[in-house]
Amino acid sequence: MINAHRHLSRRTFIGTSGAMLAAALAGCQGDAGSDTSRFATAFEGGRPPTGVHFNPWNPSDYAQTYSIYWIQPTTSVHGDGSVSTSFFENLSVDGRDVTIEFPTNWSYWNGDDITAEDYLVEAEIDRYQDPEGSPIEGHELVDDYTVRRTYKDDVSSTIAKVNAGYGMAAPKSVFREYLERYQDATTENERQAVTDDLLQMTIPTEEFVDQGLGSSLFKIEDFNSSETLAVKQDDHPWSDRTDIDEIRVLPNVESGTQVEQLEKSNELDMTQYITDNQRSEYPDTLENVYELSHYNCQKYMLNRNNEHLANRSVRRAIIAAIDIPSIVDAATQTGMLASPTQVQTGIRETIEEMYLGEGFTDQLIQYPVGADEETARGYMEDADYSLEDETWVSPDGTAISFDIITQSAVAQSQPTKVFSDQLNGFGMETNMNAIGQDYYSKLQEWEFDIAWIWHVALPFWHPTAYFSNDFYGILAGDPGSGDDTGPTGVPFSIEIPEEVGAEEVGSNGVEINPAQLMTDLKAASSEEETRELTRQLVQWVNFDLPSIIHMQENRGFGGDVENFSFPDPDETRLDRPNPGPWALTSGLISTK
């Protein structure tokens, strides 16, 4: 799609309806006589830009997906566990020290240089939230463009590089005041007060744009709830790589129907991966470019504050009662690429052998993948539950009832409806509530019994991404809170069997602290220690079922190969987070 440039002022653009914008896209297509090239795409799973913010420490409605177009990544972790950088000049690890050298020719959209201080501010804010528990001792500015990060103990090269990706999401001009407040705090209460303020702070998209806080090749010029217009920065270090001057990005949740119509009418230049059962509905000029064994999984978080879910046998009965393939089929009918999880390990199937060793997964408890009512009944009877009027009732006479919440997007609500119906059919009463833009805020009220949520805290294929102590990982909570459990009832201390795969603790139990193990994993000093810690965490998840990880996502992207050239997967590593947006914002897509 090669179109004439039509400048829209902020006021004009925001006042334009989604339908008019779609019409403008359609009306512009094919104008090969122009001197400005446009590129239109949509971001999967994205909430409208008017409903998100850009404070990375406030997970409630953070622009997790939208931001990948506007905040330049510094490192990429690949599917084989290796780490690369197309931004840092140098990234080296020596014992406890990680030295990072920044380029000297990068700036934020507002013209402020991106320097090592941006890295230090963001990384130190992270450390100060829990300096005792953090594996990091501190950070030092070597010079304006070099920072040294020092761990408390020797750290493996892989983990050090995986965790090195700071420096772009939190400009020093905005967040330095929080670091200074942390530095001035003399007590834990004072430090917590800073954290509380930081977790409430938001940077709305309008403020993000007006203050020029982005750092990518394309700078947002105008946006509304339906679409974003961004133009190439001519002074960006990568501007000469591409002749695309302007991009339009649409969210693919609230306006999903509009996006699908645009894809099928060939009005988007980059799309989701086109599955075989969708192929006939898409134009021939849209071809798949790359399919990725994605890092994402999806799970159902089980809140043990519900008296029934506090019983491990009931949690096991749930996974035996549901038919995971049917749940995944409901997701694939919405266009998602996914497969059922086969073994509850807590990490992505594609990295199990890499980080657990050959044959370890085979030793674990093999819960049913398809519905197995006989096994599910056995687990319920183990917990002394009985069926009364086709509903399971606890030994004290309380009937099972679960409140289930999920995001309202059809790719999440449709599979969750299948999950909910299956539990109802087994005799577990459910009430499902699909929630819109404030889903993540609602989630963190912890008032649900079961909640759908993504399962990966960081965008890479490494155990630390799955065993992160938050709701995207395996939420345990703060062991320093003085409580016995975290917000969803996960205990800080638990006994698991000594024998891998045993269903009962028996006489040789092993006491572990999952929250501490997750912290230790982030600072593992060797590949051997990484494997040992990962095995303990995997055994815990498999034995105790804090969540049910039901879906292994695949993703990918296709594009208009008639009018645009895309990177060749044989020549450019696309096994990285968000390969399509990465290629676009790296200047690796151009007109033909």
Looking up residue 336, the CATH number of its domain turns out to be: 3.10.105.10
24 and 145: one domain? no
Domain for residue 113, yes or no? yes
318 and 256: one domain? no
Residue 508: pLDDT band (50, 70, 90) is confident
Please write the tens of the pLDDT for every residue from 214-258.
999 999 999 998 899 999 999 999 999 999 999 999 987 644 457
62 and 81: one domain? no
pLDDT of residue 45: 64
Tell me the percentage of the chain whose pLDDT exceeds 70.
93
Contact assessment for residue 545 and residue 499, using Cβ atoms and an 8 Å cutoff = no
Secondary element (H or E) of residue 415: helix 410-426
193 and 232: one domain? no
pLDDT of residue 89: 96
371 and 308: one domain? yes
What are the φ/ψ torsions at residue 344 (nearest 5 degrees)? Answer: -80, 95
Domain for residue 445, yes or no? yes
Domain for residue 275, yes or no? no
Distance (Å) of CA 573 to CA 54, 57, 120, 464: 28, 30, 29, 22
Contact assessment for residue 474 and residue 538, using Cβ atoms and an 8 Å cutoff = no
Residue 150: pLDDT band (50, 70, 90) is very high
Residue type, 366: Q
CA 144 vs. chain centroid, Å, equals: 31
Question: What six digits make up the tokens of 521?
Answer: 């994993």
pLDDT of residue 205: 97
- Bridge partners of 244? none
- Supply the range of the domain harboring residue 311: 297-553
First-to-final CA distance of the chain? 10
Domain for residue 118, yes or no? yes
Residue 374: pLDDT band (50, 70, 90) is very high
99 and 22: one domain? no
Secondary element (H or E) of residue 183: helix 172-184
- Convert 40-73 to b/e letters by CB count within 10 Å (16 or more is b): bbbbbbbbbbbbbbbbbbbbbbbbbbbbbbbbbb
CB burial class (10 A; 0-12, 13-18, 19+) of residue 513? middle
Decide if pLDDT at 524 tops 90. Answer: yes
Tell me the percentage of the chain whose pLDDT exceeds 90.
77
Of 200, 225, 246, the domain-final residue: 200
Domain for residue 581, yes or no? yes
SS3 258: helix
Contacts of residue 71, Cβ cutoff 8 Å, sequence gap at least 6? 54, 168, 169, 214, 215, 216
Contact assessment for residue 346 and residue 352, using Cβ atoms and an 8 Å cutoff = no
Decide if pLDDT at 349 tops 90. Answer: yes
CATH of the domain at 53: 3.40.190
196 and 64: one domain? no
- The larger pLDDT score, comparing residue 259 to residue 426, is at 426
Decide if pLDDT at 16 tops 70. Answer: no
Residue type, 75: T
Pairing of the two strands 401-407 and 429-435: parallel
Residues 566-589 have a mean pLDDT of 95
Residue type, 424: N
254 and 305: one domain? no
SS3 172: helix
How far apart (Å, rounded) are the C-alpha atoms in residues 114 and 111? 9
To the nearest 10 degrees (0 to 180), the angle between helices 18-28 and 256-264 is 10
pTM of the model: 0.84
Contacts of residue 15, Cβ cutoff 8 Å, sequence gap at least 6? none
How far apart (Å, rounded) are the C-alpha atoms in residues 347 and 549? 9
Decide if pLDDT at 412 tops 50. Answer: yes
How far apart (Å, rounded) are the C-alpha atoms in residues 582 and 580? 5
Domains contained in the chain, number? 3
pLDDT of residue 291: 92
431 and 508: one domain? yes
Under DSSP, the state recorded for 507 is T
52 and 177: one domain? no
Domain for residue 289, yes or no? no
Q: Three-state SS string across 55-93, please?
A: CCCCCCCECCCHHHHCCCCCCEECCCCCEECCCCCEEEE
How far apart (Å, rounded) are the C-alpha atoms in residues 240 and 256? 33
CB burial class (10 A; 0-12, 13-18, 19+) of residue 80? exposed
| Minimum mean pLDDT range among 32-41, 214-223, 338-347 | 32-41
395 and 541: one domain? yes
Residue 20: pLDDT band (50, 70, 90) is very low
Decide if pLDDT at 81 tops 90. Answer: no
pLDDT of residue 1: 32
Domain for residue 208, yes or no? no
Largest CA distance in the chain: 79
Domain for residue 277, yes or no? no
Decide if pLDDT at 423 tops 90. Answer: yes
How far apart (Å, rounded) are the C-alpha atoms in residues 412 and 353? 29
- Bridge partners of 495? 511
- Nearest of 64, 592, 584 to residue 290 by alpha carbon: 584
Contact assessment for residue 79 and residue 350, using Cβ atoms and an 8 Å cutoff = yes
Contacts of residue 329, Cβ cutoff 8 Å, sequence gap at least 6? none
- Nearest of 577, 591, 434, 587 to residue 67 by alpha carbon: 577
349 and 369: one domain? yes
Decide if pLDDT at 18 tops 60. Answer: no
Question: What six digits make up the tokens of 182?
Answer: 């942390």
pLDDT of residue 35: 64
Residues 402-413 have a mean pLDDT of 94
Our CA angle for 426, 432, 436, nearest 5°, is: 155
How far apart (Å, rounded) are the C-alpha atoms in residues 393 and 400? 6
With tokens 């950088």, the residue in question is: 85
Secondary element (H or E) of residue 13: helix 10-14
